[in-house]
């Protein structure tokens, strides 16, 4: 259940109210007054939030004038619709409003200190997991890696027509990949210290067939030197799954998607193996590094493409220009009517004396509640 609050200037109130009640069939719309605007509040089911917002925006609310605020309700009594009377259908539309999805994805794509720190920590853990051939450490690095956030920003920015979000996601993703490659290069240089059992490149050359560009023995390093149709399928379904989880508001699903996508290990493997191949003059090292780069590129492209397709299936569209302004915000306007209720002007006759007192008391109470 969602609680929606619409803030509109006085002269727009009746038109917006009539649209909510008569066109969108929303019940129990409550109106409040402030010094410079009217507030309309109502509850709606999660599966109707997008239709309601699109309808309001089509009338200019939140685009040309006014504001729309939405928040979740943990519980609401009485219940609007019972399970017995609710329409039985499979909901395809996003549970969250596109603006809410946009804000969530934008936060995940922000290039902050924490984001950079998580990238470095995840890359170092992935490097240690690759060197030790330890799947547990590699899975931990996948969980820690925030690489999926910028990729979502690229896909969503394309779908909603927001060039700024698209560029932001692309830039953050390139920075993250650059840091991952850099960590791999450092670990490749430090391999004689980190891997003391034997020269690592000698061990890897015994596990890799240079003529076939394929692993002889499957290890965490060699298996990322080539990709198969199975890897392509995993990338496609990972991108679709992450798009569904974001539109549903279930961010916990991203944990499983992060593991399945496995973006961080090949990113580190690129820098580490190309560095080792150049230092030792090893063709096997260069082949594995280039194979990891191809695997990473295919994963990123397919995840973004499948996420775009799923966003469109979930009916996410272009976000209207966020230029909502109206002069009532900056310039005080007198109320045009003493009534805050939906009644025709001709038939509405307040009780003499009592209505004026009630209105004055309500206005005074609002001023007290809204005072800093």
Q: What are the structural domains, with CATH classification, of the chain?
A: 2-93+321-357 (3.30.70.120), 99-313 (1.20.1080)
- Cβ neighbour number for residue 28 with a 10 Å cutoff: 9
Distance between CA atoms of residues 223 and 309, nearest Å: 29
pTM: 0.70
Nearest to 310 by CA among 238, 258, 252: 238
- By DSSP bridging, strand 67-72 and strand 2-8 are antiparallel
> Quick one: DSSP state of residue 56?
H
Residues ≥6 apart with Cβ < 8 Å to 98: 50, 53, 160, 316, 317, 319
Find all residues with CB under 8 Å of 67, minimum gap 6, and list them: 6, 7, 324
Burial class for 300, CB neighbours closer than 10 Å (0-12, 13-18, 19+): buried
Over the range 91-125, which residues count as b (16 or more CB within 10 Å of their CB) and which as e? eebbbbbbbbbbebbbebbeeeeebeebbeebbbb
For residue 74, give both structure tokens: 């943990």
String of DSSP letters for 220-259: TTGGGSS--HHHHHHHHHHHHHHHHHHHHT-TTHHHHHHH
130 touches 107 (CB < 8 A): no
Instruction: Locate 339 and state its tokens.
Output: 């009534």
Query: Is the distance from CB of 95 to CB of 249 less than 8 angstroms?
Result: yes
pLDDT tens-place values along the chain, 372 residues long: 788 899 998 888 888 998 898 888 888 898 888 888 899 998 888 777 878 888 888 888 888 888 888 888 877 776 655 444 444 555 666 666 777 788 888 888 889 999 999 999 999 999 999 999 999 999 889 888 888 889 989 999 998 888 999 999 999 999 999 999 999 999 999 998 888 877 888 999 999 999 988 899 889 999 988 877 888 888 888 888 888 888 876 665 666 666 666 789 999 999 999 999 999 999 999 999 999 999 999 989 999 999 999 888 887 777 655 444 444 343 434 444 433 333 333 333 444 444 444 444 444 444 444 444
The token pair at 359 is 């209105």
Nearest partner of 3 among 73, 56, 68, judged by Cα = 73
Q: Are 270 and 293 in contact (CB under 8 A)?
A: yes
Residue 335, token pair as written in the block: 């109320």
End-to-end CA distance of the chain: 30
For the chain, state the CA radius of gyration.
Answer: 28
Walk across the sheet containing 38-44 and list its strands: 30-33, 38-44, 2-8, 67-72
């Amino acid at each position: 259940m969602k609680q929606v609050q619409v803030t509109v200037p006085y002269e727009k109130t009746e038109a917006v109210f009539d649209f909510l009640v008569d066109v969108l069939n929303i019940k129990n719309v409550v109106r409040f007054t402030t010094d410079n605007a009217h507030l309309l509040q109502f509850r709606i089911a999660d599966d109707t939030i997008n239709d309601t917002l699109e309808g309001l925006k089509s009338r200019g609310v939140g685009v040309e004038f006014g504001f729309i605020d939405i928040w979740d309700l943990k519980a609401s009594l009485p219940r609007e619709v019972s399970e017995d009377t609710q329409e039985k259908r499979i909901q395809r539309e996003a549970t969250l409003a596109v603006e809410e999805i946009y804000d969530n994805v934008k936060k995940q794509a922000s290039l902050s200190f924490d984001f950079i720190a998580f990238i470095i920590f995840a890359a170092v853990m992935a490097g240690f997991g690759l060197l030790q051939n330890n799947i547990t450490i590699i899975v931990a690095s996948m969980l820690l890696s925030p690489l999926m956030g910028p990729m979502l920003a690229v896909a969503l920015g394309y779908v909603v027509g927001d060039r700024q979000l698209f560029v932001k996601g692309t830039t953050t993703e390139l920075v993250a990949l650059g840091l991952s490659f850099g960590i791999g290069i450092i670990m490749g240089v430090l391999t004689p210290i980190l891997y003391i059992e034997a020269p690592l490149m000698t061990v890897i050359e015994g596990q890799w067939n240079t003529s076939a560009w394929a692993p002889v023995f499957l290890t965490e390093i060699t298996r990322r030197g080539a990709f198969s149709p199975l890897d392509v399928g995993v990338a496609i379904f990972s991108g679709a799954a992450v798009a569904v989880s974001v539109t549903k508001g279930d961010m916990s699903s991203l944990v499983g998607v992060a593991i399945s996508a496995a973006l961080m290990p090949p990113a580190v493997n690129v820098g580490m193996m190309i560095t080792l191949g150049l230092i030792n003059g090893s063709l096997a090292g260069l082949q594995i590094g280039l194979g990891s780069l191809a695997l990473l590129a295919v994963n990123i492209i397919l995840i973004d493409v499948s996420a775009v397709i799923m966003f469109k299936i979930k009916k996410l569209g272009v976000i209207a220009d966020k230029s909502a302004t109206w002069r009532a915000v900056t310039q005080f306007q007198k109320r045009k009517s003493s009534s805050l209720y939906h009644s025709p002007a001709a038939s509405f006759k307040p009780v003499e004396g009592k209505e004026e007192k009630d209105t004055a008391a309500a206005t005074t109470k609002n001023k007290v509640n809204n005072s800093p």
